[in-house]
């Protein structure tokens, strides 16, 4: 069976409360051998740790930019303490999900930048890679990474320019591709998926978010009572098949390459043979 690593899955999200273990089992049956579960706020840290241990997956700890309004400055000290506590845990692979979001209105950019930079400094201090939220913010993220280089990581759901992609790669990052690449109108993103060096790509779902086109419902459909399709880690093989088709390559070869890339990007991520 073709085996995949989903490098970004919020298995702890409320959308999975009714059937979380069933969702994980279904993903494994579909060939998704390993998940990386990033936290988004302090109250989630212990939950994602427990989930990763329960299912033999990996986790990252951090504060997401969309959660900076309710975050406290003391959360950074708490994060340092917890990361130091679990430094020997093989399930810990990164600081994340951290970053900047300049798309969602109403967020304090300077507050986001403060939390982002504090977490980058933590990653440097502890020798950990980072998992980045990149939303209309590539250049500002890169400014900090040039000033304070880290042990690489993943630019999650990357949708920037070719030049920005090359800069992330030069700084040791892999670029995450997920459900957005399945939309035919995502021309720039699909071109990146087609043209970027194979060694720079990892696969992800961001489940339950960023559904592939076959899970998406329009505003009109939702107004008529049809629920938005829930993305899940089990969708990864079909999403990846889109990337393989764009690149004109064998799906198995893509699975092997992107899994190796993920293992290079994230500390301690097990080799594919371990799944």
CA distance 153 to 142: 13
Reported confidence tier of residue 272, pLDDT bands at 50, 70, 90: very low
CATH of 4-274, one of 3.10.20.30, 3.20.20.140, 3.20.20.70, 1.10.640.10: 3.20.20.140
Neighbouring C-beta atoms of residue 92, cutoff 10 Å? 23
pLDDT of residue 222: 59
Residue with tokens 């990361």: 83
pLDDT exceeds 70 at position 271: no
Residue 52 half-sphere exposure toward CB, CA atoms < 13 A: 28
109-167 pLDDT per residue, tens = 999 999 999 999 999 999 999 999 999 999 999 999 999 999 999 999 999 999 999 99
pLDDT of residue 159: 95
Task: Give 9's strand partners.
Answer: 207
Residues 6 or more apart in contact with residue 255 via CB below 8 angstroms: 2, 3, 4, 31, 240
**Which ranges in the chain belong to alpha helices (H)?**
20-30, 45-55, 74-85, 109-126, 138-147, 162-170, 187-195, 219-223, 236-247, 251-265
pLDDT exceeds 50 at position 273: no
């Amino acid at each position: 069976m073709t085996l995949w690593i989903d490098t970004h899955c919020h298995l702890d999200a409320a959308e999975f409360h009714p059937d979380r273990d069933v969702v994980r089992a279904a993903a494994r049956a579909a060939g998704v051998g390993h998940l990386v579960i990033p936290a988004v706020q302090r109250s989630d840290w212990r939950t994602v740790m427990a989930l990763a241990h329960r299912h033999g997956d990996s986790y990252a700890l951090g504060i997401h930019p969309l959660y900076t309004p309710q975050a406290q400055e003391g959360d950074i000290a708490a994060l340092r303490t917890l990361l130091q506590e679990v430094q020997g845990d093989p399930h810990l692979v990164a600081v994340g999900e951290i970053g900047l979001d300049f798309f969602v209105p109403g967020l304090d950019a300077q507050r986001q930048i403060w939390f982002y930079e504090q977490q980058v400094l933590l990653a440097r201090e502890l020798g950990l890679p980072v998992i980045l939220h990149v939303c209309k913010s590539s250049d500002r993220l890169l400014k900090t990474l040039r000033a304070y280089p880290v042990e690489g990581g993943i630019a999650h759901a990357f949708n920037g320019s070719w030049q920005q992609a090359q800069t992330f790669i030069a700084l040791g990052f892999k670029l995450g591709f997920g459900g957005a690449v399945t939309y035919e109108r995502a021309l720039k993103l699909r071109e990146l998926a087609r043209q970027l060096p194979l060694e720079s790509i990892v696969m992800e779902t961001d489940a339950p978010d960023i559904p592939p086109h076959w899970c998406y419902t329009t505003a009109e459909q939702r107004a008529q009572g049809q629920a938005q399709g829930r993305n899940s880690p089990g969708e990864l093989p079909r999403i990846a098949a889109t990337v393989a088709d764009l690149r004109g390559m064998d799906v198995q070869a893509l699975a092997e390459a992107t899994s190796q890339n993920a293992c290079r990007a994230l500390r301690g991520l097990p080799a594919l043979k371990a799944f």
